[in-house]
Structure 1
Amino acid sequence: MALHNRIDSRLLKEKIKSTPQKRKTISFYKYHYITNPQEFRDILYANLEVIGVLGRIYVADEGINAQISVPEENLEKFKDYLYSVDFLNGARLNIAVEDDGKSFFKLKILVRKKIVADGLDDGSFNVTDQGAHVNAEQFNKLADDPNTIIVDMRNHYESEVGHFKGAVCPDVDTFREELQIVEDIMKEQKDKNLLMYCTGGIRCEKASAWMKHLGFKNVFQLEGGIIKYTHEVKERGLENKFVGKNFVFDERLGERITNDIIAKCHQCGSPCDDHTNCKNDGCHLLFIQCKACAEKYNGCCSDECKEIIVLPIEQQKEIRKGINKGRQVFKKGRSEKLNLKVR
């Protein structure tokens, strides 16, 4: 069995979009020492591929981080397999809040040094000594306490479209930067409640342990992140303190939590919180674009990219030859090509 999907992504995307098959978008993670990440990765791929799982999974010797979609008819098969893996038995599955089942189009499992790039030396502190996990009700109570500082542990382009009321949203491009800024924010306030949150909880697991290592006493993290919180407040009729959209790292690029639109189109400045990637294959910049600008720029971030995408394919390939789109990751929403400069 092939342990990679080499079919053209565009063909896979068309196939998934045209199928009536219902799917569930799920995320989960687990910090656990994996002796042989490559071997574990191959076994995982073989078992998930056969039941139709799609998505992106990172495996490292410190654990697993997964964002996937599963055919509804195979959901129980997926759970049976996942929970048959000792360290994943009982792992929390975060079910998407707003889901059309078209979040992923292929299965991609990668072995990495870490499941989240944090820049920390895990041997220098106890990564298992984490902050207290709180549910939605406990989060709301802490949020109402004037002695609490709420910190968004996500990147600027995530908090830009949605965040908790009163939260400190650091203007950062990476989680690594975030940790230093939070340390600076809190250094004179070590006796205050530090209440952290992220999308599904994984970043807070490491961040809360690091902050405790630095001497912060009252460290709390939202269990299951924004995703679990949203389900809980709906199910229990609690006040929803989150406003706007929850940014997600799949084809959806966001799931609506409330009707509040707190961001602006990066091209014209009109109220908008719809992220997109520039249609120019040599750019693919992530930015916010309203429908009017999408039509005006043909889905591109600039006139320059708009002009490129109408050129013959071979000419486009020549123009983008040698460009490493991966190095543009830190330009999310900040390119000089954009009319509206973010922050």
Structure 2
Amino acid sequence: MKKLSTLFSCILLVGAGKMAIAQTEMNILKFNNIPEFQSYFKHTGKDMPLISGHRGGTTPGYPENCIATFENTLKHTPAIFEMDPRLTKDSVVVVLHDDSLGRTITGKGKLNSYTYAELQQFRLKDPQGNVTNYKIPTLKEMILWSKGKTILNLDHKDVPLAMTAKILRECKNDMIMLTVHKASEAKFYVDDNPNHMLSAFVLTKKAFYEYEKAGVPWKNMIAYIGPKNQPENKEIMELLHAKGVMCMISAAPSYDKLKSPAERAEHYRETFTMGADILESDLPIEVAEAIKPIMPSTGYQQKFWSKVKVK
């Protein structure tokens, strides 16, 4: 009995050691220049499945749109991250999905009725509604943190395009992705800076041809094609793939909502086997585990993946 107890203790120690190692390493994406950055998102047909953490990911103890949450996800998998810039009363750009307080941050009322200084009294909540010690971050803080670690995809809420472009210049980080909902927004960004990478809504053939007519370079974009990978996506996906454009499905409003982990995993894998290149999810850590059986042993994107020690 004593021997069994000792053996069990050793197993626990080994397991704890492995967990400690996992918790002190972070997966990062690192590019030396813009051509490398753009090539990472070029569809070739022989690419690694890519994961995007929707608002950073949904994990107990970690609020959405929070640097600590992004870092937690990166401890488990290489990923890019969708996030949500918004304006305060005094025109500071912070990161919060909702236009009001309450769901993800303590406090009440509209976000834009508070100055940035006033928002410092509040704390972010985790997905279960528990209050954490984290404060609302600014967009600049997020961009500066991301450099040399990952790619942020800035959704378009209420921040004027010109203000977003100005912040990127001030942060001196061109390796950021910008969500655009139509061709005119894409044209604005590439005219402002030909290095801008876009996450473009291309839900229809009409939208595809509008981007083409606007002269937006295909090498400057990935395409969001909907919340599900289904037969209706096939034609638009083929058009985009022919241009070298990666296609992204967002599971946040669809597959992430399924109650069974096994069912979610099946749909995550199927999304890639049906041809999608990027899966955006509220559960990026779960997605990374689910797609292990279909993950190629090698691929172009791997050369930009590495691990760093973290505290």
- Verify same fold: TM over 0.5: no
Per residue, is there more helix in 1 or in 2? 2
Structure with greater contact order relative to length (CA < 8 Å, sep ≥ 6): 2
Give the TM-score band, short-chain normalised. Answer: under 0.3
What TM-score do the two structures reach when normalised by structure 1?
0.23
